[in-house]
Amino acid sequence: MLMDKINGTIIKGIGGFYYVEAADTLYECKARGVFRKNKVTPFVGDRVTVSLEKDGTGTIEEIFPRKNSLVRPPVANIDQLVIVVSICDPSPSTLIIDKTIAAAEDKGIEPVIVISKSDLKDCQWLNDIYQTTGIPLLTISSATGEGVEEVEKLLKGKISAFTGNSGVGKSSLLNRIDSRFHLQTGEISQKLGRGRHTTRQVEFLKLGENTYVADTPGFSSISVERYDLVKKENLQYCFREFEPYLNQCKFVSCSHTCEKGCAVLKAVEEGTISKSRHESYVAMYNEVKELKEWNMK
């Protein structure tokens, strides 16, 4: 007996079950064992074909090719990655921000920086680092509502994923945007100085017509080694403010780390490129320069 098949989108995955939305209906599904055998993990955001059982549950039969995907957070087919950064409690790490930006740029995903908790501490120094990068940059306070409307406009008509350290205020921001979400928020651990993980799984939330947002589990700085690594050959293209200088270096093979005649280094010296951003680039380059492609999977 042939089972009905439908196409839909995975909007949540938890405990080995995947929840697929198709034609405004949600189906609880399991994935075929062949995916595990082939080391393929279905991601939230995947477009899939599902065979339906009589009881309304389903089995994921096929995952359509992805236009993009990330390991951290584990999502597929998104338009933009909203990187929420707290100005305090927890304090921001520019290296973590830059690693996340580079991972998005490498996959063709538009990065967006949202600086939260602006009511608690001045954030001009962080603005100064990123305002010349060409990356959309917003400052918000979920407590006062400052900047929330601008974030809403940025999300409209797009599929977005929110990411950032635990405790930076991702869930608080989404609750402020739409109170229907009722997302659990957590306090900051005084002992560790970082947030408690209140979001346990990735889930797409419908904000409006053709507008979805994914709240993702927060991460601590000690787990950032699991971020998506970028090959050294691609890394220079993941710092968009480097672009005007890439063809001006003395040597074609310039790594933009220490060479004489490097146009990027000259721009750093002149203040056109942020010193902090370049330091992140060098740290990331040194991390991957000896790695072979099979080491990065």
How deeply is 141 buried, as exposed, middle or buried, from its count of CB atoms within 10 A (0-12, 13-18, 19+)?
buried
**Structure-block tokens of residue 274:** 């942020």
Query: What top-level class would CATH report for the domain 232-296?
Result: mainly alpha
- Please report, as a single letter, which amino acid is at residue 203: E
The tens-digit pLDDT sequence of the chain (297 residues) is: 556 999 999 999 998 999 999 988 999 999 999 999 999 999 999 999 999 999 999 999 999 999 999 887 789 999 999 999 988 877 889 999 999 999 999 999 999 999 988 787 788 999 999 998 999 999 998 888 899 999 999 999 999 999 888 787 788 888 888 877 765 544 433 333 334 434 457 889 888 888 999 877 765 443 455 567 899 999 999 999 999 999 999 999 999 999 999 999 999 999 999 999 999 999 999 999 988 665 565
Give which of 82, 131, 170 is closest to 276, Cα–Cα: 131
Q: Give domain limits for the chain.
A: 5-63, 69-226, 232-296
pTM of the predicted structure, to 2 decimals: 0.85
Q: Which CATH superfamily is domain 5-63 in?
A: Nucleic acid-binding proteins (2.40.50.140)
CATH label, 69-226, candidates 3.30.565.10, 3.40.50.300, 3.30.10.20, 3.30.70.1230: 3.40.50.300
Strand blocks (E) in the chain: 5-14, 17-22, 25-31, 47-52, 58-63, 69-70, 75-76, 80-86, 110-116, 137-139, 159-163, 188-189, 194-195, 203-208, 211-215
Vertex 142: Cα angle to 140 and 147 (nearest 5): 30
